[in-house]
Amino acid sequence: MNITLLDRKTLGDDLDLSPLEHLGSLTIYGSTATEEAAQRIRESHIVLTNKVIIDKAAMQTAANLKLICVTATGMNNIDLEAASELGITVKNVAGYSTRSVAQHTLAIALSLIEHLPYYDQVVKSRTWSRQPLFTDVSRPYFEIAGKEWGIIGLGTIGREVAKIAEAFGARISYHSVSGNATQPYTHKSLEEILSTSDILSIHAPLNPQTENLINHTNLPLLKEEAILLNMGRGGIINEIDLAKELNRRVLYAGLDVSTKEPIEADHPLLHLTHPDRLLFTPHIAWASIEARQKLLEGVVENIKTFLENGND
């Protein structure tokens, strides 16, 4: 079996890919542009991709293609209708990054709550060394205990975040965009969860219901000094509106995703009047070494199952 991995760099250089080599003849590309995909998969039986777009035209050039393994959960980069029409199986891996994303959510929340970048600089710039006091309380921080932690998207990841936040003593509420309000926490309308949350984290997928969900019409509902976290997908928060709101008043945001990734160098979020109000990481919440290992194991299992079922 000819196996082609189109974007190895997304898995990290520290991940051992030898399990894939045991399944067939493996060809690895560090990254692949959309216009390169058709040529690179032409002789492939199995294709592995994270974000490379594989459309119908690319599939039609690959006469031997039987299986597309998405090295992620989301499959929006694959033309699923065309794959079905051409008899090509598409498999993803679900649940591999739950703990990784939940941990990253807490890491960003705690950093913003306790102003850790600021205090780190106070020490390293020697500012603290020149002070007469043993401490510096110029930027007060609050405890999570007793605070309202709202969650938009209470799926597997959202529930893991809720469990951790509860361990810190937070009160949990949530908003279901789909209307599936059956979780063991208080359900609130979007307006209510925005206006009552001290910390609000987003763990929802991007779809027509969630696109531009948080924008200039409802951002003003957030409490002064509230913390807004998006660990779901870029596009759920209108980033231009968020930049304006962060410039307008004391509000904090922690983002791991953006509408376009990588984010443009001239994006307003990278040129805030108060950059300390934003903590931004480059889509890494999913990427702990343990999560990436689970992801690879899931891909290997998908291929083995496919072959064992006689789809070779």
Active site residues: 233, 261, 283
Instruction: Tell me which H or E stretch contains 300.
Output: helix 289-308
Tokens of 281: 């990481």
Tokens of 184: 């063991």
Q: Do 40 and 81 contact (CB within 8 A), yes or no?
A: no
Q: How far apart are CA 233 and CA 283, in angstroms?
A: 9
- Residue 200, helix vs strand vs coil: strand
Distances in Å between the Cα of 84 and the Cα atoms of 88, 109, 157, 222 are 6, 42, 29, 44
Q: Do 211 and 239 contact (CB within 8 A), yes or no?
A: no
Q: Do 58 and 37 contact (CB within 8 A), yes or no?
A: yes
Q: How far apart are CA 48 and CA 66, in angstroms?
A: 12
Which amino acid is it at 174? Y
In this structure, what are the phi and psi dihedrals at residue 109, rounded to the nearest 5 degrees? -60, -50
Tokens of 130: 């020149």
Tokens of 296: 């690879």
Tokens of 304: 């083995």
Distances in Å between the Cα of 249 and the Cα atoms of 226, 236, 245, 252 are 11, 21, 6, 9
